[in-house]
Amino acid sequence: MIQLLDYAVALQKHRNFARAAKQLGVSQPTLTRAIQELEGHFGSKLFDRTTHGVFPTAIGKIVLDGAYRISGCVEDLHLQVRSFQSMQRAELKLGIGPVVAQTWMPDAVVSLLHNHPAIDVHISTQEWSELVPSLFSNKIEIAIGEIIPDICKHKEVTVLQFPARPIRFFCRRGHPLTQIENPTMSEIGEYPMASTKLPLRASEHFGGTRALGKLSANGLYFEPRISCQTFDVCLRIISSSDNIGIAPLSQLSRLPADAGYEVVPLDVPSLRTNAGIMRLRDRTLTPSAEAFISQALASEEAYHSLPQEAGRKPRARTRG
């Protein structure tokens, strides 16, 4: 129908079938049949064919007025689509786990907005267990955070996994652990932990260390003695108590040298991050989401590529 209306507009403009057909790039018989089809659709003659040219009838003028309005709407629609595709007007809804939100995520968003400043970005920081449900409910387009085993069971979810990054315990300077040269997991476990909720796999390393925390009632995650959503809150608690913390080594390496924190020198090889980008397999990503994934991969790599040295080694103490 839209094409037929375009033919009518061209005919009204040129008042001649031959000239209108040439502009449209079709044969004159094709244009004639198109106008006849349009007239049949409305059940009325739309153009008078005279020796002086082709002129719209009264009903033809009504149809042409509508054709111009429709043409304008279609053109506006094309402009909106092109604007969306070029990210001149778009939005991006992200669901982010607490650790990711407080490490490299801001860098990725800044890079995205530097290249595409017109994008509206909506960031929702969630517990990692809530990310996939938010995907299924269409609250977010992309989820980034801890990859829990249940995610692998969802065939509808596509996961782009990041490299595993080292995680380390840390404490305030002057903490009793800083007097031990090579503390064991048992010695670390004598102190309560202030941290975000940890995935179930963390419990593999914390067995028999009840002071750190405990498994949740539903058995889905490890709950530290002091559970807090943000790293800054944990830092303030750890800075003035014997609570210990746990964080990616790259995050700890960014603490100022005079911040008063030390990394506990216990490297558990299996204690690593397990994060990734998650999306629904059958959903076409928006251009802004595709652009963000590229920035996210680059920002995650850059964040963890800096030298990972934080704090000073604890002073040796003879056990006895």
Q: How many domains are contained in the chain?
A: 2
Same domain, 48 and 150: no
Asked if the model's pLDDT at residue 308 lies above 60, the reply is no
- Poorest-pLDDT segment among 41-45, 106-110, 166-170: 41-45
Tell me the residue range of the domain where 132 lies: 92-320
If one counts every other C-beta atom within 10 angstroms of the C-beta of residue 218, the result is: 7
pLDDT given for residue 80 in this prediction: 61
Same domain, 52 and 110: no
Last residue of some domain: 53, 85, 117? 85
Same domain, 19 and 131: no
pLDDT given for residue 203 in this prediction: 76
Q: Tell how strand 194-195 and strand 198-199 pair up.
A: unpaired
Last residue of some domain: 85, 112, 129? 85
pLDDT tens digits, one per residue of 102-127: 899 999 999 999 988 888 899 999 88
pLDDT given for residue 320 in this prediction: 41
Distance of alpha carbon 217 from its chain centroid, rounded?
Answer: 31
CA 104/CA 252 separation, integer angstroms: 13
For residues 46 and 39, the answer to whether their CB atoms sit within 8 Å is yes
Same domain, 73 and 101: no
Look at phi and psi of residue 174 and say left if phi exceeds 0, alpha if psi is from -120 to 50, else beta. Answer: left
CATH number at residue 79: 1.10.10.10
**What amino acid is encoded at 147 in this protein?**
I
Sheet of 198-199, strands arranged across: 198-199, 221-224, 213-215
pLDDT given for residue 318 in this prediction: 42
Average pLDDT score over the chain: 85
Q: What share of the chain is helix, strand, coil (3-state, %, to 5)?
A: 45, 20, 35
List, in sequence order, the alpha helices (H) in the chain: 2-14, 17-24, 28-42, 58-85, 98-101, 105-115, 131-136, 185-188, 231-239, 249-252, 287-305
Same domain, 156 and 203: yes
Same domain, 67 and 112: no
CATH number at residue 235: 3.40.190.290
Same domain, 66 and 136: no
pLDDT given for residue 285 in this prediction: 85
Same domain, 75 and 26: yes
* Confidence (pTM): 0.69
Same domain, 81 and 154: no
Same domain, 97 and 78: no
For residues 212 and 193, the answer to whether their CB atoms sit within 8 Å is yes
